A and B are shown apart, each in its own frame.
Chain A
Amino acid sequence: MMTLLADTFWGTFTGPFRRKEFFQQLYFVANRSLFIIVFCVCFAAVVTILESSFHMKMVIQNDAMVPGFAAVLILRELAAIVTALLLCSRVGAGYASEVGTMQITEQIDALKMLGIDPINYLVIPRFFACVLGGILLTVVSNMTCLFAAMMISQAYLGYTPGMFISSMHRFVQFKDVLFAVIKGACFGGVIPLVACYFGFNCQQGAEGVGKATTNTVVVASIAIIVIDFILSYTFSYLY
């Protein structure tokens, strides 16, 4: 895994940049995942704000601050992590099966025979596409999440959008969006690295591809959660 990571970084500076492949992958990662991510994070935002309101009412009989801290929770954690886990399930599994199939059908060996570096050809475009896709999707999911929270707080909690934004003013900083974007980029970067690693080490047969896919989703999900903890801990010193 570390070798793959080092090769990827090395290939970033040395190898030719495959622009067309990069855009194809970015389209696959960002545009094709957009709907499912927006749909899911909206529901996650709704649950967050309703639960926050319920708990605040239970503790201090007042939910006036809920829009503010729910917005912080969405920006710092929820949108980025939900986006990353969904990307992991969709893109990571796709990459692992794709690269795994190429491995067992000896297409990767053929690439090597043709003098094409498989890392430069397969991993680097996917890596950059996932990093950029992670950033874009995190931004979009953050904003749609906040919008959904605003709508639901107006419908069920009685806070107008103006009150919601006013409450957000007290808690939200621009750093929150910035850190969410950094998280999105890191989560996005992990997915193709894990997927390609398991794809390159895929065992023969359909069972091997299935195992590689499963392992990718499991390991990438764990990696995302661990990286989330590390980044949150690091960012807590920067507030």
Chain B
Amino acid sequence: MHIPDSFIPMGQAIVYWVIALPFIFMSLKWARKELDDMKVPILAALAAGIFAIQALNIPIGMGTSGHMVGAVLVSIIFGSPMAGVLVLTLVLLVQGFVFGDGGITTMGANILNMGVISGFTGYYLFVALKNKTGIKAASFVGAWIGLLISALTCAVEMSIAGTFPLVAGLATMGLYHLIIGFIGEGLITAIVITAIEKSRPDLLDSSVTNAKGVRA
């Protein structure tokens, strides 16, 4: 879902940067407040893992592929969508500047879509669901729908940019990411969260585990 430079006119690309910047600053503020010597290694390992897994495109049929985004996974582990914004910002910076994956002018839009929108929607959906469905199902649904909503937002941005027609863009992006979100985002997120909950529940933020009584 990395938007290249040519997909959004410069003026609009700047608007998305302006919207994304406060979230980037808030994520740095979160890091200042929440990170300590125990959490920094976890954050760094997660960021590296998400960069690597984003290079692994999974075929989804129809001549299309997709990869995990990871903002929801990071947000759930740290108990804040700001963690997802921070990690995705770092990953997208390296992808954009070093590998030409996603444009520099459109990086604001990419951070907004994959970091902020996917992270916030997915994390709060997870929070809303976890007491009713348990951590496994809630992380699956949160990650799946978080990715889908961010793809639909991307389609709206493409329509404002005049790149995609609105309805066709929503339908196509929606269909592809419904599938990518299910496999790449939902399943992987649920598997990783479940594995961490089983082996190292202390790594998960207490707001996540308390609901299930793991720490009680």
Q: Do A and B come from one complex?
A: no
Which residues of A approach B to under 8 Å, CB–CB?
none
